[in-house]
Structure 1
Amino acid sequence: MKKIKLLSIILFVLFFTACNTTSNKKNTVETNENGFVILTDDQIDNIIRRAYQYVALYNVNNKFAITQGGWNTLHADTKLKDHTMRDIARPNNDSFYTGIMLDLRKDAFVVNLPKFDSKYVSLMVTAYDHYVYVPKSTRQGDFQKDEKIVFYSKRTENYQGESVAGIDNVFEANGDFISVIFRVMPHANEPERFKKVVEQIGQISMQSLSEFQGKEPIPANEITFPEVGKTDLDIFENNFLEVMQFIFNHITFDDNDEMDRELLACFAPLGIAPGETYDPKTALKIDGKKFRQHAEKIHAENLNKLTDPDMSASLGPRVFKQKGQTDLEAILAVSIIGPIGLPIEEAFYPAVNTADGSQMNAMNDYVIKMTKKELPPARAFWSLTLYDKANGFFIPNEWNKYSVGENAGMKLNDEGGIEIYVAAEKPDGVPIENWLPINRSDEDLDIILRVYVPELDKLRSWKVPVAHKL
């Protein structure tokens, strides 16, 4: 009996210790003389690499919400973007966006999907985790009739996916705060069709599920969001743990997903876990400046992947995917290069590099030539857009010329090919549609080619065009 009793005591102690290991971790970590948690360089790198997708999307989605007046709001494009666009790196002006920012904590929301007369329309959904879902697109045969879709999350208090009369589609989002983005080809060079597309964009609408059912709207609880950063690097330096705790409380994690498990494991010793509360008085402290330095290194490393054709080709099929369909390398790269995009079935985003492999710079002029057979294999349309490398913004110019394509304008030559010039002055004889202006300065440049609904079989053998220095 004594042995049995002793064994019972030992088992109880082991069980009690195991149950309290996670909650006590933040009280047992070592700190230095400045009060910062002691972490190796490898640990810091691992934390940043696994968190970058969340920091990037927190920054992007919250900035969009701030810009358009808060959550549960809708903002529709009716004009093509210009160089004043600063909310996201490497935007494009070959399509119109309608952004709906939803807070799903209290109530689900219904969005009206109108019929569209456009070559390309898609509906893209993402939460703070940066996994991309495209429940509707013209590629899939959608937008041929009016439909309604309802959005909710695992934590939505007053709805959990049951069927509702008048609702055609139900979508469970990965998080409580999501962006629902319509991307619409506007046919800007066809005035009548352009006008019609703009009118159809005006038919996009949203309302809470309670309102849709004729009930009183349920107000969302007041909530304080951690500060966004001017750049993602600012968050890594200033309020990284606070932001991650907020994200952890509003994201759905999957115990069977390896990336989710690894993320949670590396933050547990820092006291950051789902359901916890961030209190700056008691929270562990990290060396923000050191985290920023590591983030800057990782940022530069991934930004340079744009100029590596082999790496770009490797990443293409893996980026902007659903959870479980991508990997850390791919989602880290796109979170840095340009957050929120479409998977390769909907769009392909190769970088245009120089013929000799050198970095493109505004001290030089360039030409990009494609024969008819070398044009991008797009079932919908394609465009080529110029950015500054450092920030991923349009190059300011008085002509508001930032891209070449069916929407921004282009002129094919007599053989059906095209020559596109990147130059400080428009070369003689070159159509203005085929000119991308630059400002003569020591500024590195990037060019992104977008191929909407690519022919995947042809894409395997198609070569991305290169820029030749003049």
Structure 2
Amino acid sequence: MYNVNNKAAIKNGGWNICDVDTRLKDHTLKLIARPNNDSLYITCTLDLRKEPVILEMPAFDSKYVSLMITGYDHYVNIPLSTRQGDFEKPEKLLIFSERTEGFEEGKQIEGVDHYLEASGDFVSAVFRVMPHANDPDRFERITEQMKAVRLRTLSELRGNAAKKIDDIEFPEVGEKDIDVFENNLLEVMQFVFNHTTFDTDNELDRNVLTAYEPLGVTPGKAYDSEKAAKLDGQRVGRVAERIQDEEMAKSDSMLKNPGLFQPKGKIDLDLLLFQSVFGPIGQPAEEAVYPAITAADGKPMSAQHDYVIQMSADELPPAQAFWSLTLYDTENGFFIPNERKKYSVGENGGMKLNDEGGIKIYIAAEKPEGVPEENWLPLNRGDYGIDVVMRLYVPDLEKFKDWEPPQAEKL
């Protein structure tokens, strides 16, 4: 998450800035794997060292909105969401860390509705907004509401200038997340330790501190390359790649685990390891689940074939907000390029139920005769693998326990 959060800050143009994304993503996006095409994002990068940051939010005319806050430690917090009854009226959320200068926890600020102590000084705050793209008027309303989200420091809320935050130097980020392990692991970890809150009563915290202490990395120290342990960066990188491959091989089963993407104290080491290499960070099961779609013949899906995914009315996903099904290439996790810019089927991306309330979704190089445009995911014929990921927003978790995702049948 050091690489993810800091690259987001670079893209945003710095810290304490919000980038509002009001256009649906397409196949030209190469920044992240398995991007989401049924939500728009507001990505805010926060530096909480000098003073708290306040997010001012309007009411949203959307079926689904959530706010996810994540520090360098990979834990996930969802302080506000439509599932919890939020975003029905304008609200202000104040965010601080244990090290925020001059701020006392529990102190009430006039006009602030919610408070959150983040686990680190540098965090990402990401809004997911379902934009109702199939309703142009509603889409325009929602995107205007997104533009109304405002970030202010506590000083600015009180009518003063924000405190300067240009007094820090960050370790270099990697082109890929795995590059940090090979190039500057100890420098990055020293920085992470210095800007993350640790709990000595938490077993994972104790263990990670114990593991790095012999390498000269402990909270509060300044990194000194002359005194730090000497690591074989290429060997560390190879081990990181091996672990990444091993964890990615588990993705079909792990993504169904309701224990993923939780706050500190609510997730075990195995799940935390998986989500730290799977990337990007997702939401807890209460907000969303991500079951993978597999082929009925048990073989990896290939762009050399066409497929159909069908569900009766009784077999539709148990989503209380909405659901979607998205097509990617296996190697990169990118959208399949097509002129229609159609990458997903669902309420936002477009779908058409049949007279019985069910649906047939076709993944094909050419649209089969009689198939609604909304239910066709275009495929470029070729010798490469394809993946289909289903997303259920605000799932009925009781029904989800017994629900089986549909399978893709080869045509």
| Greater strand fraction, Structure 1 or Structure 2 | 2
Q: Distance in 1 between matches of 2:22 and 2:272?
A: 30
Instruction: Tell me how far 1:186 sits from its aligned partner.
Output: 0.5
Within the alignment, does 1:243 sit opposite 2:188 as a pair? yes
Within the alignment, does 1:429 sit opposite 2:370 as a pair? yes
Instruction: Tell me how far 1:312 sits from its aligned partner.
Output: 4.0
Q: Distance in 1 between matches of 2:279 and 2:329?
A: 13
Q: Distance in 1 between matches of 2:229 and 2:328?
A: 39
Aligned equivalent of 2:342: 401
For structure 1, the 5+ residue unaligned runs are: 1-56
Instruction: Could you list the structure 1 runs, at least 4 aligned residues long, displaced by more than 6 angstroms after superposition.
Output: none
2:72 to 120, 128, 133: 128
SS at match of 1:129: coil
Q: Distance in 1 between matches of 2:334 and 2:200?
A: 38
Count of residue correspondences? 410
Q: Which moved more, 1:80-89 or 1:188-197?
A: 80-89
CA-to-aligned-CA distance 1:377-433 (integer Å, 9 cap, x gap): 111000011122223222222221111111111111221111112222322222222
Aligned 8 A contact 2:255 2:289 in 1: no
Aligned equivalent of 2:279: 338
Alignment CA distance shift 1:86-1:158 (3 Å):
farther
Aligned 8 A contact 2:49 2:101 in 1: yes
Aligned equivalent of 2:125: 180
2:402 to 461, 464, 468: 461
Within the alignment, does 1:367 sit opposite 2:308 as a pair? yes
CA-to-aligned-CA distance 1:349-384 (integer Å, 9 cap, x gap): 111111122222222222111111111011100001
Aligned equivalent of 1:297: 242
SS at match of 1:74: strand
1:392 to 306, 313, 333: 333
Q: Which moved more, 1:203-212 or 1:429-438?
A: 429-438
SS at match of 2:336: coil
Aligned equivalent of 2:147: 202
Could you tell me the percent identity over the aligned residues? 57
SS at match of 2:354: coil
Q: Distance in 1 between matches of 2:324 and 2:248?
A: 21
Q: Return the index of the structure with the highest Cα Rg.
A: 1
Aligned 8 A contact 2:325 2:344 in 1: yes
Question: What is the letter of the counterpart of residue 352 of structure 2?
Answer: K
Q: Distance in 2 between matches of 1:421 and 1:335?
A: 33
Within the alignment, does 1:233 sit opposite 2:178 as a pair? yes
Within the alignment, does 1:78 sit opposite 2:22 as a pair? yes
CA-to-aligned-CA distance 1:188-239 (integer Å, 9 cap, x gap): 1111211111121121101110110122321114222122122222111111
Question: What is the letter of the counterpart of residue 108 of structure 1?
Answer: P
Aligned 8 A contact 1:355 1:467 in 2: yes
Question: What is the letter of the counterpart of residue 416 of structure 1?
Answer: G
CA-to-aligned-CA distance 1:430-454 (integer Å, 9 cap, x gap): 2222122232222222221110001
Q: Which moved more, 1:252-261 or 1:278-287?
A: 278-287
Q: Distance in 2 between matches of 1:60 and 1:256?
A: 28
Aligned 8 A contact 1:60 1:88 in 2: no
SS at match of 2:151: strand
CA-to-aligned-CA distance 1:48-104 (integer Å, 9 cap, x gap): xxxxxxxxx111111111111111111111110112223332220101111111011
Aligned equivalent of 1:269: 214
Alignment CA distance shift 1:160-1:363 (3 Å):
farther
Aligned 8 A contact 1:174 1:251 in 2: yes
SS at match of 2:141: helix
SS at match of 1:232: coil
Aligned counterparts, 1:411-422, within 5 A? 411-422=352-363
What value does the CA root-mean-square deviation take over the aligned residues?
A: 1.4
Instruction: Tell me how far 1:467 sits from its aligned partner.
Output: 1.1
Q: Distance in 1 between matches of 2:186 and 2:330?
A: 29
